[in-house]
Amino acid sequence: MARKTVTDDPLAPVTLAVGQEDLLLDRAVQEVVAAARAADADTDVRDLTPDALQPGTLAELTSPSLFAERKVVVVRNAQDLSADTVKDVKAYLGAPAEEITLVLLHAGGAKGKGLLDAARKAGAREVACPKMTKPADRLAFVRGEFRTLGRSATPEACQALVDAIGSDLRELASACAQLTADIEGVVDEAVVARYYTGRAEASSFTVADRAVEGRAAEALEALRWAMATGVAPVLITSALAQGVRSIGKLASAPRGARPGDLARELGMPPWKIDRVRQQMRGWSADGVAVALRAVAEADAGVKGGGDDPEYALEKAVVAVARAARSRR
């Protein structure tokens, strides 16, 4: 979820939304507009791109109105503003107009950093909208969506939804809203599977789960489905590596430790400890080493080291599934 600074009034004179996650940027704008229209239903909203904000335009938009109407001025991609327009914005930051809320959307980074620093120095309310590149961040996002919607979802359900939908936050948010609207009570893994079974079965993590459980035929079936639906080969090798490493970590952990303690030590959620514990029953230390080598070879193959990425993945899946039975 977007994180805010201490100044958290959506009607603050200036809101600065920083990041590259489109959904969170749009939500930052929507929050300000909703607050403004709650205060004045006739609020005028101007949503501008850099090419529409020429020198002098901001002064015109923020000049006092005869009817003292409330106004929201949204400036998208503020890092791309011309030097002359940046001067106008900086000048405005020093003396913002009453009844007007300026919303600056900035990608962050070095480009346009002078404007970013000026807005922060002026005390702008800031909303962080970072790109969510890590699976853990997307999992936290899904949990937050269900909380915001007033619905409970099990950890397994949240993980299954991320596995099924992927990295698109808009699709994840839409799925959370659909499940909340359609399902009464707690959203569990079975519900997610019922709604998103086709996509879930095509996910890279499903391929990995089946392989580390020693279910070679099902893993290959999931792999072919994943490839047919456009799942990137590197995501599959990454999921396989993660699955095998998790087994190696848990196998070397102290015996008898509680799931909560193991979760903290190994950096896994408690529910995943239980799942990996079930998956590791047929594994040996040699099997983990063999599987990791097979996955590394497949990873090199799909990144340009081989002629047939699909064949490289099939070899890795079979090798992992065999390794999963190395103690039997």
3-state secondary structure of 257: coil
Strand order in the sheet with 71-75: 3-4, 125-129, 14-19, 100-106, 71-75, 44-48
104 pairs with which residues across the strands?
A: 16, 75
- Residue 224 banded pLDDT, cuts 50, 70, 90: confident
Span 294-307, average pLDDT = 85
For helices 233-251 and 216-228, angle between their N-to-C axes, nearest 10 degrees: 150
- Give residue 2's pLDDT: 46
pLDDT tens, residue by residue, 159-199: 888 877 777 888 899 889 989 998 899 999 888 888 876 56
| Together in a domain, 78 and 108 | yes
Look at residue 207 and tell me whether its pLDDT is greater than 60. Answer: yes
Does residue 2 form part of some domain? Answer: no
3-state secondary structure of 7: coil
- The single-letter DSSP state of residue 80 is G
Does residue 95 form part of some domain? Answer: yes
**How long is the chain?**
328
Look at residue 6 and tell me whether its pLDDT is greater than 70. Answer: no
Does residue 276 form part of some domain? Answer: yes
Element (H, E) at 232: none
Nearest alpha-carbon partner for 240 in 306, 314, 146: 314
Tally of structural domains, the chain:
3
Alpha helices for the chain (secondary structure H): 22-39, 57-61, 83-94, 113-121, 135-148, 155-165, 169-182, 189-201, 204-212, 216-228, 233-251, 259-266, 270-279, 285-300, 309-323
125 pairs with which residues across the strands?
A: 15
| Together in a domain, 21 and 122 | yes
- Give residue 3's pLDDT: 43
The CA distance from 78 to 321, in Å, is: 51
44 pairs with which residues across the strands?
A: 71
Look at residue 271 and tell me whether its pLDDT is greater than 80. Answer: no
Of 180, 196, 212, the residue that ends a domain is 196
| Together in a domain, 23 and 124 | yes
Look at residue 121 and tell me whether its pLDDT is greater than 50. Answer: yes
| Together in a domain, 24 and 115 | yes
Output the domain CATH number for residue 317.
Answer: 1.20.272.10
- Give residue 147's pLDDT: 95
| Together in a domain, 101 and 189 | no
Q: By residue range, what is the domain housing residue 297?
A: 204-324
Does residue 7 form part of some domain? Answer: no
| Together in a domain, 227 and 285 | yes
pLDDT tens, residue by residue, 232-253: 788 899 889 989 998 988 888 7
| Together in a domain, 152 and 214 | no
Does residue 168 form part of some domain? Answer: yes
Of 103, 129, 155, the residue that ends a domain is 129
| Together in a domain, 181 and 208 | no
Look at residue 67 and tell me whether its pLDDT is greater than 80. Answer: no
- Residue 144 banded pLDDT, cuts 50, 70, 90: very high
CA angle 62, 67, 70 (to 5 degrees): 50
Output the domain CATH number for residue 183.
Answer: 1.10.8
| Together in a domain, 122 and 161 | no
Output the domain CATH number for residue 73.
Answer: 3.40.50.300
Of 73, 105, 129, the residue that ends a domain is 129
The CA distance from 135 to 169, in Å, is: 11
pLDDT tens, residue by residue, 73-105: 999 999 999 999 999 999 999 999 888 999 999
* Highest mean pLDDT out of 2-6, 92-96, 274-278: 92-96
- Give residue 305's pLDDT: 67
Does residue 24 form part of some domain? Answer: yes
The identity of residue 26, as a single letter, is D
Look at residue 220 and tell me whether its pLDDT is greater than 60. Answer: yes
| Together in a domain, 123 and 144 | no
Other CB atoms within 10 A of residue 264 CB? 12
| Together in a domain, 307 and 244 | yes
Cβ distance 126 to 18 under 8 Å? Answer: yes
CA distances to 32, 267, 281, 309 from 226, in Å: 40, 28, 26, 13
Q: What percentage of residues in the chain have a pLDDT greater than 70?
A: 90
The region, left, alpha or beta by phi > 0 then psi within -120 to 50, assigned to residue 98 is: beta
| Together in a domain, 317 and 243 | yes
Does residue 40 form part of some domain? Answer: yes
Other CB atoms within 10 A of residue 155 CB? 14
- Give residue 19's pLDDT: 94
Does residue 9 form part of some domain? Answer: no
Least confident of 19-28, 141-150, 235-244, 300-309: 300-309
Cβ distance 49 to 139 under 8 Å? Answer: no
pLDDT tens, residue by residue, 7-43: 589 999 999 999 999 899 999 999 999 999 999 998 9
